[in-house]
Structure 1
Amino acid sequence: MTTYIALLRGINVSGKNIIKMVELKQLFLDLGYHDVITYIQSGNVIFKSHIKESILIEDTIVSGILKRFNYAVNVLVLTKNELMKIFNSNPFLAKDPTMDISKLHVTFLNTEPDLSNKHQIDALVINSDDEFIISENCVYLHCPNGSGNSKLTNNLFQKKLNSAATTRNWKTVTKLIELSN
């Protein structure tokens, strides 16, 4: 069986799309997944499956959430190995391993990013301390003044890179790696 991590976007935010983690865990079990673990309320689920195609799993989860909770949410499914590669490839930590991880985030993209509008994102950070690096299907973020003060938002990357996206802070990514072991 393969270990997967599902990242749900837009649940339990500002009182919208409320799903209790016990109910989300039960949905995954009902969908036939094994060893299901949820982590915090923002929609992180670690589970195992015999299915080898992440896109099939994503479609099943999206359909299951729509049917059971009547919410249309974006779901990104990564294998444990894919998440580990993203974790081990953070260019900010490669440059400075002592960097404050509370200032680091990663935006996961469902598809290969369309870079034709990258210059518009670059323009937003010219006079800012914020930094971003696009690498394959993710965007690494360093927001030294806090993500709440940054113009580098999930919606910005989703719109400008033409890919569904969901963002997690580095502490969450680290915990997902730990829980998936």
Structure 2
Amino acid sequence: MTTYAAFLRAVNVGGTGKLPMAELRAMCESIGFSNVRTYIASGNVVFESKLPERSVKAKLEACLATYAGKPVGVLVRTGAELAAVLAGNPFGSAAPNRTVAIFLDAPPPADTLDRVSGQQTEEIVLGAREIYVHYGEGMAHSKLNIPAAKTGTARNMNTVAKLVEWTAA
């Protein structure tokens, strides 16, 4: 069995995409995942499966599309991959609530940094299948636009650390 963390895009954000976490857990169990746990109401779920990552993603996205009546993006990492994201955080000394990993399905394109707009004091570093961003002055007034992140989803380092703890347990 492999322990995975899945991150849903646009769930319980801004009053749209409502999905009670109890229903997300039930969905995951209905498609054969075990030891399912959700973390905060923003679409974070940890579970075990014998399936490879691609199959986990496909099954979860299909189930969510049936529920929501539209596609719901899901980004998946194994526990080991998630631990590597946390260990690879280039802003480890910065406030974890002001640093995010934007999870992607594939490595960020080579021109990612060239295509960024609206950057002020934010710092950006590319990872394996992530984009790390440190919002030194917070996200509230940021105008940062990263086109390569359009299909990804961000989680702050507090959330990543908690899910690393859960996937290691």
Q: TM-score, normalised by structure 1?
A: 0.86
How many residues of Structure 1 are paired with residues of Structure 2 in the alignment?
A: 168
**Structure 2: distance between partners of 1:110 and 1:91:** 20
**Structure 2: distance between partners of 1:117 and 1:88:** 22
**Structure 2: distance between partners of 1:29 and 1:37:** 10
Give the residue type in structure 2 aligned to 1:124. Answer: G
Following TM superposition, the consecutive aligned residue runs of length 4 or more in structure 1 with deviations greater than 6 angstroms are none
> Is the 2:108–2:127 contact (alpha carbons within 8 Å) kept by the matching residues of 1?
no
Unaligned ranges ≥5, structure 2: none
List aligned pairs for 1:79-158, cutoff 5 A: 79-93=78-92, 97=93, 99-121=94-116, 124-125=118-119, 128-152=120-144, 156-157=145-146
List aligned pairs for 1:1-181, cutoff 5 A: 1-51=1-51, 53-93=52-92, 97=93, 99-121=94-116, 124-125=118-119, 128-152=120-144, 156-157=145-146, 160-161=147-148, 164-180=151-167, 181=169
Deviation at 1:80, TM superposition (A): 0.2
- Give the share of equivalent positions with the same residue, in percent: 31
Deviation at 1:39, TM superposition (A): 0.4
**Root mean square deviation, CA, Å:** 1.6
SS in 2 for 1:92: coil
SS in 2 for 1:64: helix
**Structure 1: distance between partners of 2:81 and 2:34:** 19
Give the residue type in structure 2 aligned to 1:92. Answer: F
> Is the 1:111–1:163 contact (alpha carbons within 8 Å) kept by the matching residues of 2?
no
Distance 1:117-1:86 versus aligned 2 partners, 3 A rule: closer
SS in 1 for 2:106: coil
Cα offsets for 1:102-145 (capped at 9, x unmatched): 22111111112223352131x532xx221010122111111111
Q: TM-score, normalised by structure 2?
A: 0.92
Give the residue type in structure 1 aligned to 2:57. Answer: E
Cα offsets for 1:69-116 (capped at 9, x unmatched): 3242110111000000011011111xxx3x322221111111122233
> Is the 1:115–1:161 contact (alpha carbons within 8 Å) kept by the matching residues of 2?
no
Unaligned ranges ≥5, structure 1: none
**Structure 2: distance between partners of 1:61 and 1:37:** 14
